[in-house]
Structure 1
Amino acid sequence: MSLETIYVGIDVGLTHTGVAFSTRDMDTPLDVDRWPGNKEVAKKVPTKLWYRAGCMKPVSWGFDEPEELHRGMDVIDCFKLYLDPDFHTDGLENSPEVFWTNEDVQLWFVDFLTALRQYIIKYIRNAEVFANDVMGDWKLHPVEYLFSFPTTWQNSKVVETFSRTVTRAGFGECAAHSVEIKLSEAAAAAVYSAKNFKNQRSIQSPKGRRELAIGNEERIRKGDVILICDAGGGTTDVSVLKVLSTQKFEIREGHTEEVLELEQLDFVNGRPIGSVRIDQAFQRLIETRLKCIDYNSENVSWSLKYAARDLTKGSFQTIKENFGYQIESVLNKIAPYVPGLPRAYHNPEEGFENGRIILTGDDIRKLFDEQICRIFSMIDEQLRRIRELSPSEKVTHFVLSGGLGSSPYVQDCFKREYGYGKAAKRILISEDPQLAVCRGLVIDRIHRLRYGHSIISSRRSCHSYGIVFNNRLSQNKRSPRQSEGIKISPYDRKRYAVNQIEWLIKRDQLIHQRQYISQKFNRVFDNNSSEISWKDLIAMSQSPATRLPQTSNEGDARIICEIDSRVSRELLRQHPKPVKVQKWWGSKRNPEFLKIQYEVRLVIGSSHLKFEVWFEDMVIGESDEVPVNWQYTSIDEAISLDSQASWPVDWSNCGHAGGTKDK
């Protein structure tokens, strides 16, 4: 009997990590909701490690905090975004507080993911749903681990580094296991919203925010345009999608499921906004208040900085999670204990009573409002872009997900800002919004397995991708740019504009799933060659579609990959149609050369592109998958690129053999 593959979705968040799992035949994913060091049900585990001085490996992780934090012991958390070397926060990149290197961050990832993997195995083996299925060697059981990545990781090299750390942590280490890192966090959250739309709740319901959205105006339907705001610990993503249809699929006999088919109307806008920024602002507030009292502790290890940090990571987390509930809203006095401050300490003039610091509701509200204003600015910018790009489309619904999106205070702010007036939106909350990403990863993978395509049917590209070629010029045609771009071919003595780029996908272009874009080209070779091989160069640009570079040596064009192709003489004899034997100009010794027609296809994936070279009905060359973040990058944003070398002319490349086609 063949074993059912288990699909495990893992959302490594800045503050917490969520894990969901399922088999192909299960109706909905299950969550890992019991964790070491915590006796209660918890949907996510803290992305946190504890190290002891002199030890290379962590002493504990997640909820399993050591009973006593000894001197020389340190807690490592909120390290996720620093995997991107270009990420800086609040001007701290040159601060002495930033003691780590990128290698340190990779090591923390490996240590955390190793502990996570070992616990996932234990949890799934003990899950009742798999009581009789995972009894043997785990290494022999087929498992697919599905990871997401932040929308803010715009450089594909960061995703590659993350992939290597996942492998170093033991994921996919045996033949029966594999790893997939294809969906951004924003895409996974959108998938979850599409599958879970019947279980979304309306925050505008007069019966309270726990009521399901059941009215015709509340529930999402065909033709609606939805804005999904996934606000988490470290980043906030805003995406706008149109509901093309509500599709019904038969899972098995007698069981069907309804899923929204979505079309992306604009790039995903992802920025480093989240609940961690609220924590940082709170810690600065406490440090400022503690400086005013000039307290000298007898404990030599006490400092106001550590006291502020411990209060932030301790009592404040409960305050933050509950802020906005009715019972909290009527309490204008919040008084948590300050770690290390004696219970007898009393300084009412500076706002300290019995070892507690006195805070008001306005103090906490200001911390939230700073981040909420930044989120609203993102949303307003996105709404403006939709009006410009698609004037006929109007956003009808907002869907909130993520840890910060589950805050009742944040939800109430959304309701006040966007829930009233002529342009009012229906504001919905996903079921278990903090699990939208890890569940979305599993749902998308199983949907692709069942039906052959992703739930999001189309996206918009934020970059342009093309192929380098030599463009033959007619006798009277001048070069579109400078004359030095024109050279004479040694094969036919014709004029060519060399190293031109045929852009197969342009920025802002709508990209459909199950589609490939193709272009035919010609190559010429010595007729006496025993084997024929060549390289095709793939170029990328971040410039707007109206200002794309025309050659590989100008503007921001850069070569992102090369495709090696090879055809044998036997293959040429089997397929004579695309092969022509022509006279070699000006040569008596080698009077003939081969002219070969072939096709370059750009295949569209859910989060990647792949280039293939076809000769007749077979692939003779292909690129690795090129990761693509379908996201918004401002035209005015500074773009940092690697230095681009000047590319020599490949004279076997002799240009187009037909128009570009979408298939």
Structure 2
Amino acid sequence: MESFDWKPTFVVGIDFGMTCTAVAYSSAPEWARPECVQKWTGQYHESQLASKVATQVAYDGNGELQSWGFKCDWDRVPTSVEKEFKLYLDPMFPDTYPNRPSHEEAVTWYKDYMKSLYDYLDSLFQRTIPDWAQRNVEFLFSVPTTWTSPRLTEQLKSWLSAAGFSNIYNRRIKISQTEAEAAAVYAAKQSFKVGDIIMVADAGGATTDINILEIKEHSQDKTQLTALNKAEGVNVGSTLINEQAKRLVKDRLQTLSVPGDVSDLYWLAEDMLQQGNFEALKCGFDGAYAGMDTYLTVPADRLPTSYRGRRQPVVITAEELKCFFDEQLDVMFESIYQQMLELTRERPQDSVKYLVLSGGLGSSRYVQKRLKARLANVQVLCAPEPQLAVAKGLVMDRIQTLSRGMAVYTGKCSRVSYGVLCRLPYDKVAMRGERVTKDILDGLLWAEDQVDWLIKEGEAVPDEGLTRPFRLKIAKGEEHDGFEAQFVMSDRPARALPKSLRSDTVSRICSVSARFRHEEFSGRSSGQFKHKKGGLLSKSKEHFVAEFDLKVIVGSADLKFELVSKDGRKYSQNDTRIEVNWEEAKPKTRSKKWARNMYPALQRTPS
């Protein structure tokens, strides 16, 4: 159980990216603006600086980790180099790429990479930070905005723990924000005025995260902003441009009859793009065609006999590169327009004044040029350090909370809807087709597996959490069996949320089981729960009715739970009497008898 008086004296923000990873940090008592790690193992020269390190790991022929980061580029005997696996940490990520890694492979690579990163940072800070071993260190992480399941966040915590980030008593892990929120914090810390409405688009390697914010307070040492809509994540990024180029080169290799199956030609295309300096041409592209064609040479030993002795370049023209960019930008533009339309519907008096770009793709001159042309009434700005926005934003938000007692980002909007399964009084008209049971304790009909939606998609999430009163019938003799509340989510629009678990758009995310204290049943006058005798002339049997409040704290990427008795005693998520099980349940399994008895306290009971 975590100590409530534990406070960090050193915070480290880690932005794990598709192609590169950034690390920012700050320390007590000054809590100065964050700095970034710029020296990494594997850099070619001691004097060379890099604000990010490559996200890649290399393995030898036995499958043992050989190297990581920049060392993969010059290691002598790597058999395989694994990179661009971030999105596959989500087992539900849709992809048709023929060489896509499995979820299990991506998790293995992630753990190996993060362990290497932790070991390097620990060694670096031991050499440069006084009393490093004695400091309370908090490692801050974000999650992609496209990840909506709190279960995935819990898994991420366990992977990071396995990698060593919480391996001693004074090291903690905190997953506090989405990438969109962290980038927004960084953007809001720049030169804006109170009342300004800004849109932040963090366009990175694999995803683009977009949200609209209002600056509520802004001074030298304190900033506060609030979300005006839910953050939106779309699969748009610079690595997807690389993927389009790779597929084009693969097709042209097939046209040249270069031998090899599809998988082999993909690897050859990737090697040719690296050798041909495609990345530099892509990053420098500004929409002009002159001198921007990419010439790639097919290795002589891979050419068919009929081509031997003749140079066979594969060309990616500037027009084709422009098409790759435009395909990504079309998706980005659609998301931006939808966000603006939603703001106009909800707040017709307000409009976006600034669009702030961050991330690797956001730093592209062509992207900036296209956005300025499309958004005539919005001033398009680029963040000062666009590729460090997430890492620094994580640290900025945390150090303001620690030094000023106030987070930068407040008033977040829920990206999905969260609810809890319960029973409701049966209505034979409104609940046709639902699972109905006759309660042996009260003899009444109830519809089971109904959803009480606690927070709906797009609604503002109270920082203090949401509390809802419930009741639970407990049979005599089963007082100490406890009960289980099952939480669900849906990404359906708030206006079209399903009413029960019967819908395929409702998915379980976790179950929260709790056990009550013995004294809550002891004594009819002093006990917390009402005692119902039942009897021969009554439909009901002897039982207790427990009344309690279920509290859910909805974070950016996680959920926390409390059970509060009527006299104010809390069973928190860290309490031994309450347990959260994040294992995915089968969608159509029946609820346990001690789960299905829970019903909202404010509902009428059947007559």
What's the TM-score bracket when you normalise by the shorter of the two chains?
Answer: 0.7 to 0.9
Q: 1:426 to 1:493 in 2, by over 3 A?
A: same
Aligned positions of 1:468-547 closer than 5 A: 468-471=421-424, 480-482=430-432, 487-514=437-464, 516-525=465-474, 531=480, 533-547=482-496
Alpha-carbon offset, residue 566 of structure 1? 0.7
2:232 maps to which of 265, 269, 275: 269
1:617 maps to which of 546, 554, 568: 568
Q: Could you give the per-residue CA deviations for residues 78-105 of structure 1, whole angstroms, max 9, x where no partner exists?
A: 111122233243x32xx3x44x433222
2:82 maps to which of 66, 76, 80: 76
Q: 1:538 to 1:294 in 2, by over 3 A?
A: closer
Stretch deviating more after TM superposition (538-547 or 106-115): 538-547
AA aligned to 2:81 is V
**Could you say what secondary structure the match of 2:515 adopts?**
strand
**Could you say what secondary structure the match of 2:166 adopts?**
coil
Match of 2:38 in 1: 33
Match of 1:435 in 2: 388
Q: Distance in 2 between matches of 1:4 and 1:534?
A: 36
Alpha-carbon offset, residue 395 of structure 1? 1.7
Q: Does 1:338 align with 2:297?
A: yes
Q: 1:304 to 1:626 in 2, by over 3 A?
A: closer
Aligned positions of 1:245-644 closer than 5 A: 245-248=216-219, 256-259=220-223, 261-288=224-251, 308-314=269-275, 315-324=277-286, 329=288, 331-332=290-291, 334=293, 338=297, 340=299, 361-418=318-375, 420=376, 424-471=377-424, 480-482=430-432, 487-514=437-464, 516-525=465-474, 531=480, 533-553=482-502, 556-559=505-508, 560-569=510-519, 576=526, 578-586=528-536, 593-615=543-565, 616-620=567-571, 622=573, 643-644=587-588
Q: Distance in 1 between matches of 2:265 and 2:477?
A: 81
Alpha-carbon offset, residue 618 of structure 1? 0.6
Stretch deviating more after TM superposition (305-314 or 353-362): 353-362
Q: Distance in 1 between matches of 2:370 and 2:63?
A: 46
Q: Distance in 2 between matches of 1:48 and 1:547?
A: 42
RMSD: 3.8
Q: Could you give the per-residue CA deviations for residues 282-340 of structure 1, whole angstroms, max 9, x where no partner exists?
A: 334444556667799xxxxxx9765542342341222222223xxx9584355657374
Q: Distance in 2 between matches of 1:535 and 1:68?
A: 53
1:225 maps to which of 184, 189, 197: 197
Q: Distance in 2 between matches of 1:74 and 1:398?
A: 41
Determine if contact 2:467/2:551 at 8 Å carries over to the other structure.
yes
Q: Distance in 2 between matches of 1:340 and 1:442?
A: 46
Match of 1:63 in 2: 70
Q: 1:175 to 1:582 in 2, by over 3 A?
A: same
AA aligned to 2:184 is A
Q: 1:579 to 1:161 in 2, by over 3 A?
A: closer
Aligned positions of 1:152-167 closer than 5 A: 152-167=146-161
May I ask how many residue pairs the two structures share in their alignment?
577
Q: Could you give the per-residue CA deviations for residues 96-116 of structure 1, whole angstroms, max 9, x where no partner exists?
A: x44x43322222112221221
* TM-score of the pair, normalised by structure 2: 0.83
AA aligned to 2:235 is P
Percent pairwise identity:
27
Q: Could you give the per-residue CA deviations for residues 134-183 of structure 1, whole angstroms, max 9, x where no partner exists?
A: 3xxx3x43221112222223344443443333222222111121112232
Q: Distance in 2 between matches of 1:62 and 1:641?
A: 37
Q: 1:33 to 1:353 in 2, by over 3 A?
A: farther
Determine if contact 1:151/1:186 at 8 Å carries over to the other structure.
yes
Determine if contact 2:520/2:527 at 8 Å carries over to the other structure.
no
**Could you say what secondary structure the match of 1:117 adopts?**
helix
Alpha-carbon offset, residue 594 of structure 1? 3.8
Aligned positions of 1:17-56 closer than 5 A: 17-24=21-28, 25-38=30-43, 39=45, 40-56=48-64
Q: Distance in 1 between matches of 2:503 and 2:25?
A: 48
Determine if contact 1:307/1:340 at 8 Å carries over to the other structure.
no
Alpha-carbon offset, residue 453 of structure 1? 4.5
Q: Distance in 2 between matches of 1:79 and 1:240?
A: 29
Alpha-carbon offset, residue 185 of structure 1? 1.3
AA aligned to 1:620 is Y
**Could you say what secondary structure the match of 1:431 adopts?**
coil
Q: Distance in 1 between matches of 2:268 and 2:440?
A: 76
Q: Distance in 2 between matches of 1:626 and 1:50?
A: 35
Q: 1:611 to 1:596 in 2, by over 3 A?
A: same
Alpha-carbon offset, residue 51 of structure 1? 2.5
* TM-score of the pair, normalised by structure 1: 0.76
AA aligned to 1:176 is N
Q: 1:574 to 1:406 in 2, by over 3 A?
A: farther
Determine if contact 1:232/1:274 at 8 Å carries over to the other structure.
yes
Q: Could you give the per-residue CA deviations for residues 428-455 of structure 1, whole angstroms, max 9, x where no partner exists?
A: 1112110111111222222333344432
Determine if contact 2:148/2:557 at 8 Å carries over to the other structure.
no
**Could you say what secondary structure the match of 1:610 adopts?**
strand
Alpha-carbon offset, residue 16 of structure 1? 0.7
